[in-house]
Structure 1
C-alpha cells in the first residue's frame, strides 16, 4: 500500500518559494505552483530553464536552498521516505534492460518492490500500454516509442499516485511521440497525477490541464491553455482558409491507427 497523507482538498503537489543555486548560478528563483490530483500539469521551458532541477528536488534527490514543497501531502524535506513511496520518476532516457524481454523487465521491478504475483502485474501493464504482443521480445528489438512506453509502465509498478515525467519524448520520432502522448493521457484518466516537463509547445498543448512557463528560474505564467491564449489579443483577418495541421498530414500519410496493434 502506498503512503498516503490526508488528501482532503489538498493538491497532489504544492510548491512555495522554491529556490536553488549551483555556486553563482541561480537555477530556481522562488517557484510557486499547485498541481491538482489526477491532472496533467506541464512545466514548459527552454533548455536550462530549471525544469529538471525542479523535478529532482520534488523527487527528494536534491535539496532546495529555500522554500517548501509537499508531494501527496508529505514534506519533501522532513518526510522524504513517504514522498518516495508516493512517486515515480521517469527521466529523459528510457531506463530499461535491453537484454531482457519487456515482460521480464516488468517482472524484475515488481519483484524488487516485493509485490505479490509479479507475472500478473507485468501482463496487466503490457496490456494497458499495448505491448502484449511484444512482451516476449527482447527490448533491444523495440522502437523508441515502445521503449518509452515500457519505461513508463515500469514506473507505474506499485501504483504511485504521483508520477514525474521529465521530457519523456526527447529524441522520439513523430509517431513514437503520439504513442507516448496517448499513454500519458491514459495515466491521468486512471487517476494518476502527472507532472510533465517539456520544451515542446505542442506537447504541453496536447496533454496538459494546466501549463506553467518556467523561464530563468521563475514561473512567468500558470493557467489553462485557454487562459494562456487569452493573454494575447486574437489576430484580426478578413478571410481565413483553414489549413491542415502537420499532425493531420502525418496521420493521413502514415495511416492513423485507432488501436496500436502488434509492433
Structure 2
C-alpha cells in the first residue's frame, strides 16, 4: 500500500502543461529516482510532493490523509527537502548552521548529534570557518548533513550530488 500518493494531478504554467492526470505512488522505505531531460517536471514534482508548489487539480494523500497546500505542521514534519540551491546561512559556521536549523525543526537534544555529524561529514577541521568561505561541494555536503540531522520519514533530494566533492 502506498504511503504517499499523488492522484490525477494536473499542473500547468500558463499554456505549458507539466502534468496531465498523472498518478504517482510511493511506499515506505522505497528509494525512487526521477530521471529525465531538463524541463520535464522533475523539480516541479519534488516541490509538489513537499508542499512548495501547488497542483492545479488532483489529490495528494499521505498515510491515508489528504494534504492541502500549505501543509499543516504535522504533515510538514514528515518531509525533508534538499533543493538544488543550498539554504545555508553564509555568516554562520557549520555547527552554527546545524544548530540554527535544529532549533527551527525543534529537534531535541541535538548538540551530541551535531558533534557526530561534524565528525562524520568531515567538518572538524573547518570548525571556525564561515560558510561563505566554503566551496560549493562543501556546502552541499553540509546540506546533506542537515538532512541527516532532520531525519524525516520522507527525504526528497533534488540533484543531491550537484557540486559534491569526493572526500
Contact 2:7 2:24 in 1 (8 A): yes
Deviations along 1:135-162, whole A, 9 cap, x unmatched? 4422233232221121122234332111
Aligned CA RMSD, in angstroms, stands at 2.3
**Aligned pair partner of 1:17 in 1, 8, 30:** 8
Deviations along 1:101-158, whole A, 9 cap, x unmatched? 1111001111223333332231132234333333442223323222112112223433
Deviations along 1:185-209, whole A, 9 cap, x unmatched? xxxxxxxxxxxxxxxxxxxxxxxxx
Contact 2:80 2:150 in 1 (8 A): no
1:217 aligns with none
Structure 1 unaligned residues grouped into runs of 5+: 1-9, 180-259
Contact 1:21 1:65 in 2 (8 A): yes
Contact 1:92 1:166 in 2 (8 A): yes
Q: Secondary structure at the match of 2:126?
A: coil
- Aligned residue pairs: how many? 166
Query: How far apart, in 2, do the equivalents of 1:130 and 1:158 lie?
Result: 18
CA radius of gyration, larger in = 1
TM-score w.r.t. the length of structure 2 is 0.84
Residues 137 and 73 (structure 1), Cα distance of their counterparts in 2 relative to 1, 3 Å cut:
farther
Contact 1:103 1:126 in 2 (8 A): yes
Contact 1:19 1:65 in 2 (8 A): yes
Structure 2 unaligned residues grouped into runs of 5+: none
Residues 136 and 75 (structure 1), Cα distance of their counterparts in 2 relative to 1, 3 Å cut:
farther
1:149 aligns with 141
Query: How far apart, in 2, do the equivalents of 1:91 and 1:78 lie?
Result: 18
